[in-house]
Amino acid sequence: MRYWDASALVPLIVSEPGSRLARTWLLEDDHIVTWAWTRTEITSAIERRAREGALTRAQRRAVLARLRTFAAGWDEVIDVLSVRTRANAVLARHPLRAADAGQLGAALLVSEQLADPLVFLCLDQRLVEAAEREGLAVADTAIEGWRPGD
């Protein structure tokens, strides 16, 4: 099973560096598992791009519609209390933003419930490093020469 951080999903919704890599991951396994707050994180990224002029009004509407379509098909981790417990513990060990700690907390919760290793999909270098230190397998971002933070 794969867990999709918001940073890995944004390039599926908005064309940007990392879009080809994210599409490769999606083609390998189209089952998306993510945190319940991911849609809000992605909406924030879209609205920021629109405010900064990187998206026209028409593009913004199209991208938000694409997000609705994607979100309708993914599975969300909704156990807020369990995720919060793990996220708070992660924050004591790693220099993460709250949203990133939530993503990692959700991935850790899912991982604990699986017999097979969970693969963490992420395009944020700091979060990738924290996930690895927490014992999660992290997807190879060297595919097609892309590196987190590029």
Structure confidence by residue, pLDDT tens digits, 83-140: 999 999 999 999 999 999 999 999 999 999 999 999 999 999 999 999 999 999 999 8
**Contact, 32 vs 63, CB < 8 A?**
no
Question: Six-digit token pair at 123?
Answer: 């395009």
100 within a domain of the structure (yes/no) = yes
Instruction: Establish how many alpha carbons lie within 13 A of residue 142's alpha carbon, considering only the half-sphere containing its beta carbon.
Output: 1
Q: Would you say residue 65 lies in a domain? A: no
Query: In this structure, is residue 17 part of a structural domain?
Result: yes
**Is residue 53 one of the residues assigned to a domain?**
no
pTM of the model: 0.92
Report yes or no on 50 lying in a domain. Answer: no
Torsion sign across C-alpha atoms 120, 21, 30, 75: positive
* Domain contains 116: yes
55 found inside a domain: no
Q: Average pLDDT over the chain, rounded to whole?
A: 94
pLDDT > 70: what percent of the chain? 94
pLDDT at 140: 83
The helix (H) or strand (E) run that includes residue 7 is helix 6-13
* Structural domain contains residue 68: no
Per-residue pLDDT at 144 exceeds 60: no
CATH number for 141: 3.40.50
Q: How many domains does the chain have?
A: 1
19 is in which domain, residue-wise?
A: 2-37+74-145
Distance CA 46, CA 128 (A): 22
